[in-house]
């Protein structure tokens, strides 16, 4: 009897351990995206072999064209009653060098922990995406072909080039296709609650092949020096908007929609971005700088494994500057398997008017998407062939 009792106890303990293990999970995942790119019109500095400093061609590796290369850990623990603990840690890296995509930041893409309820939604704490990325970005061509279709200079975070630190985020359950999201980031500045803070909200709706979304986000700096706040780690450094980095706030409003019918998917989006200065961008001028962007795209599934797409973006700036950017992008993606695909993408951009650089009014220069490559001229073209693997 004693042996039977001990055996029964052992079986019960093993069953309990197995059940506890089944209630928790941790997943290792990642994406490696690397390509070879050709850029026509890349600004080069004056040298002994190039006295003029004119634009030239460039051939080199490109990292994260369709998806940012990354690896991460995400997990969940079932607490019972439809409630779970969740977490995610995600680091971006360059597969061509093996280095971090953000120096000194271990989990630069995402790092959060929170609670998720099937009835009441999800609340998370840490470094996260804002509602314009969560709600609107999935309905844009960036979701299919990445950076090559991004807004010039990524002025509206079309290609989600920045995340928001020190935040609390709430995402509602989905009610008949409708979902809400809100985020607030603490500035952590002594004596000033508003300094360095961020906040935003968004809403999305899906019904069959139709998807609609709208979102708004504001980030404020914690100093008057540059747009680098406690809550945001941005990469607004292209020639399109680097002249407006000395701002005390950035406001982004975005709307987007797409509709899938048969082998086609069509979509459109609009954004309004405003930089509000602490001091004048140009001596004697303290206007708010504003960017308005509109984009359309059309995709066609040649086969279940092959996708082609075309897009057009028009961006105009006003306030201190007065520039216009026209961009046409093309892409094709072929899935070798569920995890591996090959792609070929390209874009051409034309810039007109004037912008601001180093406090001076200068001719606007082309800079495609979020690559941050200064053309040094009014036009630029890029073509990239690459491979992406998900694990």
- Other CB atoms within a 10 A radius of the CB of residue 205 amount to 17
pLDDT band at 260 (very low <50, low <70, confident <90, very high): very high
Mean pLDDT of the 319-334 span: 95
Q: Does the residue 19 lie in any domain? A: no
Beta strand pairing status for 232-233 and 264-277? unpaired
Q: Does the residue 243 lie in any domain? A: yes
Range of the domain at 236: 25-390
Q: Does the residue 379 lie in any domain? A: yes
> Percent of the chain, pLDDT > 70?
84
- Cα angle 241, 243, 249 (rounded to 5 degrees) comes to 75
Residue 11: its pLDDT value, please? Answer: 41
Mean pLDDT of the 83-98 span: 93
Alpha-carbon span 80 to 156, nearest angstrom? 40
Mean pLDDT of the 292-303 span: 98
Cut 0.75: pTM above it: yes
Q: Does the residue 10 lie in any domain? A: no
CB 384, CB 369: distance < 8 Å: no
Write the CB contacts of 137 (distance below 8 Å, at least 6 apart in sequence): 143, 158, 160, 256
Examine the pLDDT at 21 and tell me if it is beyond 60. no
The 10s digit of each residue's pLDDT in 337-381 is: 999 999 999 999 999 999 988 788 899 999 998 888 889 899 999
End-to-end Cα, the chain, rounded Å = 51
Residue 305: its pLDDT value, please? Answer: 97
CB 381, CB 347: distance < 8 Å: yes
Q: Does the residue 69 lie in any domain? A: yes
Examine the pLDDT at 224 and tell me if it is beyond 90. no
Residue 29: its pLDDT value, please? Answer: 97
| Tokens 């509206």 -> residue | 156
Alpha-carbon span 100 to 385, nearest angstrom? 23
Examine the pLDDT at 199 and tell me if it is beyond 80. yes
Of 206, 233, 289, nearest in space to 92 by CA: 233
Q: What is the CATH number of the domain that holds 284?
A: 2.40.160.10
Q: How many domains does the chain have?
A: 1
Which string of DSSP letters, residue by residue, matches 266-330?
EEEEEEEEEEEESS-SBTTB-PPEEEEEEEEEEEEEEETTEEEEEEEEEEEEESS-EEEEEEEEE
- If one compares 49 and 324, the residue with the highest pLDDT of the two is 324
The 10s digit of each residue's pLDDT in 168-180 is: 999 999 999 999 9
Q: Does the residue 5 lie in any domain? A: no
Q: Does the residue 29 lie in any domain? A: yes
pLDDT band at 222 (very low <50, low <70, confident <90, very high): low
Examine the pLDDT at 270 and tell me if it is beyond 60. yes
Residue 162: its pLDDT value, please? Answer: 82
Mean pLDDT of the 205-234 span: 75
Beta strand pairing status for 289-303 and 306-318? antiparallel
Write the CB contacts of 25 (distance below 8 Å, at least 6 apart in sequence): 75, 76
pLDDT band at 2 (very low <50, low <70, confident <90, very high): very low
Mean pLDDT of the 107-121 span: 95
Which string of DSSP letters, residue by residue, matches 20-58?
HHHTEEEEEEEEEEEEEEEEEEE-----SS-SS---EEE
The 10s digit of each residue's pLDDT in 228-254 is: 544 555 556 688 988 887 788 889 999
Q: Which of 8-17, 94-103, 205-214 has the highest mean pLDDT?
A: 205-214
Mean pLDDT of the 40-52 span: 66
| Tokens 């954004």 -> residue | 271
Q: What tokens does 379 get?
A: 């036009």
Mean confidence (pLDDT) of the chain:
86
Examine the pLDDT at 12 and tell me if it is beyond 50. no
Q: Does the residue 6 lie in any domain? A: no
Residue 140: its pLDDT value, please? Answer: 96
Examine the pLDDT at 156 and tell me if it is beyond 50. yes
Examine the pLDDT at 190 and tell me if it is beyond 90. no
Alpha-carbon span 335 to 90, nearest angstrom? 25
Alpha-carbon span 272 to 138, nearest angstrom? 18
């Amino acid at each position: 009897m004693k042996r039977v009792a001990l055996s029964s106890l052992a079986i019960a303990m093993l069953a309990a351990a197995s059940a506890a293990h089944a209630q928790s999970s941790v997943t290792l995942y990642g994406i490696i995206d690397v390509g070879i790119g050709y850029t026509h019109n890349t600004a080069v500095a004056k040298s002994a072999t190039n006295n003029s400093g004119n634009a030239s061609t460039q051939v080199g590796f490109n990292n994260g064209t369709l998806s940012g290369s990354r690896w991460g850990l995400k997990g969940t623990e079932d607490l019972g009653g439809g409630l779970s603990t969740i977490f995610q840690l995600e680091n971006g890296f360059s597969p061509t060098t093996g280095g971090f995509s953000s120096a000194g930041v271990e989990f630069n893409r995402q790092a959060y922990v929170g609670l998720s309820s099937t009835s009441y939604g999800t609340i998370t704490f840490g470094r996260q995406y804002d509602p314009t990325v969560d709600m609107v970005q999935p309905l844009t061509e960036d979701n299919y072909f990445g950076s090559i279709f991004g807004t010039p200079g990524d002025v509206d975070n079309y290609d989600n080039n920045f995340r928001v630190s020190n935040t609390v985020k709430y995402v509602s359950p989905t009610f008949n296709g409708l979902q809400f999201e809100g985020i607030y980031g603490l500035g952590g500045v002594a004596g000033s609650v508003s300094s360095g803070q961020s906040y935003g909200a968004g809403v999305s709706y899906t019904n069959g092949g139709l998807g609609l979304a709208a979102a708004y986000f504001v980030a404020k700096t914690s100093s008057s020096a540059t747009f680098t706040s406690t809550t945001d780690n941005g990469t607004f450094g292209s020639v399109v908007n680097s002249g407006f980095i000395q701002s005390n706030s950035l406001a982004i409003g975005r709307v987007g929609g797409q509709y899938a019918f048969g082998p086609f998917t069509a979509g459109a989006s609009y954004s309004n971005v405003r930089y509000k200065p602490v001091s004048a961008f140009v001596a004697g001028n303290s206007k708010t700088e504003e960017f308005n962007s509109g984009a359309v795209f059309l995709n066609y599934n040649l086969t279940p494994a092959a996708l082609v797409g075309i897009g057009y973006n028009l961006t105009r700036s006003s306030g201190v500057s007065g520039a216009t950017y026209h961009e046409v992008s093309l892409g094709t993606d072929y899935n070798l398997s569920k995890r591996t695909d090959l792609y070929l993408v390209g874009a051409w951009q034309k810039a007109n008017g004037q912008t601001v650089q180093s406090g001076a009014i200068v001719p606007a220069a082309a800079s495609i998407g979020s690559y941050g490559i200064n053309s040094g001229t009014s036009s630029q073209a890029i073509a990239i062939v690459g491979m992406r693997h998900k694990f």
